[in-house]
């Protein structure tokens, strides 16, 4: 039976599914038990699963990830919640120097998922609004996924928990309660590394991920309706590993590419994707690869300033029109 649910409700269902099906899974985080989480994501979880599996922690992200690494090595599948993903910076050493290298160094799996609310859209200021994928993108051994749809956030969580090594699971908090979709049944697990065509087209390829998917789709619909420009929108879903085959296929189809993301422009994941396209698909290109991203500033607290710092539908539409005319 089909029903309409939010992004947050879909994520709740995914977490409950893995907790019910696999007794080796548990969640650790700040205020996730009695309080139900900063966004009420885990509201009611403590009553259903008990304090041994819904573990309230002190405000110590390093301790959370350190404990999760140890538990993962002992045969558990910990899910660590960062109250806001920005605070994952406190755990950088443990994730990059230890967890990411264990399997390479001595064959030890570290099956942990570190997840949390990411990105802007709620006017929460520079400490609570970052996209952090570029901090970790050049660390072999870490997988990075960014679900953008209601069904994907459930299926990709299943895929992340099933992975034998560390996965960073970046949830777009701006979508938690604003994005609703009709779903039917339980989605299948989606392993990291699988992109998806969100909107087919043949004139321009828009490559994106996370909340930008919806702004890109809206701009593509306007470009089709007002200008007859057919844009294909590729939702990468996973940044590490990248689905290079899907990228090559869409570039070969259209010859013109926009890479759009919410993170800052300089050093953002779009730089790596653009470089790969130029290296691997140069003969298919009919125009330079263009990037659209957030301004290189800390994310402002004031709503109007935050909105101005992030890519919006108007800016994306302007770039579509310019690239189409190239």
Catalytic sites, residue numbers: 128
Residue 321 makes CB contacts below 8 A (sequence gap 6+) with 223, 227, 229
Phi, psi of 245 (to 5 degrees): -65, -45
Q: How many residues does the chain have?
A: 326
Residue with tokens 């992030």, as numbered in its chain: 310
Radius of gyration of the chain (CA): 20
Q: Which residues contact 70 (CB under 8 A, 6 or more apart)?
A: none
Q: Name, in order, each residue with C-beta under 8 angstroms of 20's C-beta and a sequence gap of 6 or more.
A: none
Using DSSP, state whether 192 is helix, strand or coil: coil
**Pairing status of strand 290-294 against strand 257-264:** parallel
Alpha helices (H) in the chain, listed in sequence order: 7-21, 45-49, 61-73, 92-93, 102-106, 133-136, 150-162, 212-227, 244-254, 269-281, 303-309, 313-324
């Amino acid at each position: 039976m089909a029903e309409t649910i939010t992004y947050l409700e879909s994520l709740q269902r995914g977490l409950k599914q893995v907790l019910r099906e696999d007794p080796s899974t548990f969640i650790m985080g700040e205020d996730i038990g009695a309080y139900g989480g900063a966004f009420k994501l885990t509201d009611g979880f403590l009553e259903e699963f008990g304090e041994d599996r819904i573990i309230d922690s002190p405000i110590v992200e390093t301790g959370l990830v350190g404990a999760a690494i140890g538990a993962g090595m002992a045969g558990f599948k910990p899910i660590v919640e960062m109250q806001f993903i920005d605070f994952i910076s406190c755990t950088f050493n443990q994730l990059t120097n230890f967890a990411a290298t264990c399997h390479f160094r001595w064959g030890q799996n570290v099956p942990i998922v570190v997840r949390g609310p990411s990105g802007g859209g709620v006017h929460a200021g520079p400490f609570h609004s970052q996209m952090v994928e570029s901090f970790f993108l050049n660390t072999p051994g870490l997988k990075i996924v960014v679900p953008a749809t209601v069904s994907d956030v459930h299926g990709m969580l299943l895929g992340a928990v099933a992975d034998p090594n560390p996965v960073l699971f970046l949830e777009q908090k701006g979508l938690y309660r604003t994005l609703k979709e009709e779903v039917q049944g339980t989605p299948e697990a989606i392993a990291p590394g699988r992109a998806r065509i969100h909107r087919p087209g043949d004139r321009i390829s828009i490559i994106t991920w996370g909340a930008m998917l919806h702004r890109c789709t809206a701009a593509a619909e306007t470009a089709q309706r007002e200008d007859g420009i057919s844009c294909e929108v590729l939702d990468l879903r996973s940044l590490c590993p990248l689905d290079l085959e899907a990228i090559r296929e869409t570039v070969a189809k259209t010859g013109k590419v926009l890479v759009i993301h919410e993170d800052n422009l300089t050093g953002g994941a779009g730089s790596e994707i653009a470089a790969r396209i130029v290296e691997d698909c140069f003969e298919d290109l009919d125009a330079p690869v263009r990037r659209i991203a957030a301004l290189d500033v800390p994310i402002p607290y004031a709503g109007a300033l935050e909105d101005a710092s992030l890519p919006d539908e108007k800016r994306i539409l302007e770039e579509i029109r310019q690239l189409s005319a190239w």
